[in-house]
Amino acid sequence: MNRIDERDTIFSRMTLEDGSDRYMRYYKKHPEKKEIDDKLRSAPPGQFSYSVPEAPMVESTFAFITRLRDFVRGFDGQYEAPEGIKEQLSALPPSALTDYLKKTLRSYGAVVSGSGLTDEACAYSVRGRGEHYDQPVEELLPFTLVYALEMSTEELRTAPGIREAAEVAGTYLRVAVPGLAIAAYLRSLGYRAVCHMDGESELVLPPIAARLGIGQIGRHGLIVNKRYGSRIRLGAITTDAELRLDNPVDFKLPKACEACRKCATLCPVGAIPQGSIIDDYENQVRSIDHEACFSAWKKFGTDCGICVAACPYSRVGSTLKSSSGSGKAASKPGDPDFLKAFMFGKAGPAPRDS
């Protein structure tokens, strides 16, 4: 697997300021992306479901999360455990520390976790956010503990909209805290440890989560856990403390996705491939159209979440159904045909493939 350059991700590209050094360098190397990116950046954010009190909460929560990113490698005044603790721990089997960390994660709200060797293929090749922009990812710590917190079914049922966006922001905050605390704990014992959280990660979290048993990658490009579906957000800690090696899980999701296609049918911009996504060896070979997806977010003025809510594994109880071809007029937010008309007018989106 070729490592992903974080500078190529849509979230990195959307931070490039017209005329800046980063902007000039990036589009000199990738002129094919300039037109669509300029268009996406300059589009005014929509007000599809703007409402108070939720809207300022989304922004303020993400602003707070941005400050938390400063703590992923440590902070002033960090606690140091008494001498000799690390030696005592090293005498125990790796499963003892792993079990304790996973138990702690559960008490901090994680519903699922996995541990094992850090797979370099699941790390960015070069960082593309904030102060780390342009930095190659070279020195990964050898073990990874990855975990997920669940999002509320009730709030996700409202996708797309401000309540779903507030739930996403709140979950990113809740998922950051255990990762920061456990990384700080490991450092206090004398190990090296780095927390990987929203917007501040050396790891591409969905593939490492799949490697370490959290779930499998769905047609919509997100991790799908057998019990919670895509209704989860991921965090991770890398460390030089030896951890137990968990195995990937296989509940035949790629085959289920070949038959299901619900997320692709309901995506208001046709960003999710409709056709076969696996090759003869069941390797996933298609990915989503990130520019199209982001265009929906921009037009809604929030993130979208329809594919998360629609996935049967997420068990959201979403009322979203494709009514295309039913002959009934689409009339309300949440109705897929209403959303497609909102995005594109009467013509609707061009399907990505058949």
x/- letters, 236..275, toward ligand SF4 (CB under 6 A): --------------------xx--xxxx---xxx-xx---
- Residue 341 binds ligand SF4, judged by CB under 6 A: no
Binding mask 116-145 for ligand SF4 (x = CB under 6 A): ------------------------------
Nearer to ligand SF4, 38 or 291 (CB): 291
DSSP per position, 152-175: PHHHHTT-SSHHHHHHHHHHHHHH
Least Å distance, CB 65 to ligand SF4, is 20
Nearer to ligand SF4, 27 or 300 (CB): 300
Among 218, 235, 273, 336, binds ligand SF4 (CB under 6 A): 218
What backbone phi and psi angles, to 5 degrees, belong to 256?
-60, -40
Does residue 223 touch ligand SF4 according to CB under 6 A?
A: no
Find where tokens 């008490």 sit: 107
The residue (of 161 and 178) whose beta carbon lies closer to ligand SF4 is 161
Q: DSSP readout, 253-322?
A: HHHHHHHH-HHHHH-TT--S--S--B-TT--B-----HHHHHHHHHHHTS---HHHHH-GGG--------
Site of tokens 């619900």? 262
- Say how far apart CA 293 and CA 307 lie, in whole Å: 11
Taking the complex as a whole, how short is the minimal distance between the CB of residue 210 and ligand SF4, in angstroms? 13
Nearer to ligand SF4, 182 or 263 (CB): 263
Least Cβ distance, residue 261 to ligand SF4 (angstroms): 5
For residue 318, the one-letter residue type is S
Tokens found for residue 196? 């990987």
Nearer to ligand SF4, 175 or 304 (CB): 304
- The minimum distance between CB 118 and ligand SF4, in angstroms, equals 26
Using rule CB under 6 A, residue 189 touches ligand SF4: no
- Dump the DSSP string for 67-96: HHGGGTT--TT---PPTTHHHHHHTS-HHH
Distance CA 338, CA 346 (A): 9
CB 49 within 8 A of CB 161: yes
Q: How many residues bind ligand SF4 (CB under 6 A)?
A: 26
Give least dist CB 168 to ligand SF4, A: 10
Paired strand residues for 136:
126
Count each helix (H run) and each strand (E run) in the chain, helices first.
Answer: 14, 6
What is the pattern of x (binds ligand SF4, CB under 6 A) and - over residues 278-317?
Answer: ----------x----x--x-------xxxx--xxxx----
Residues lying near ligand SF4 in the complex (CB under 6 A) are found at: 218-220, 224, 256-257, 260-263, 267-269, 271-272, 288, 293, 296, 304-307, 310-313
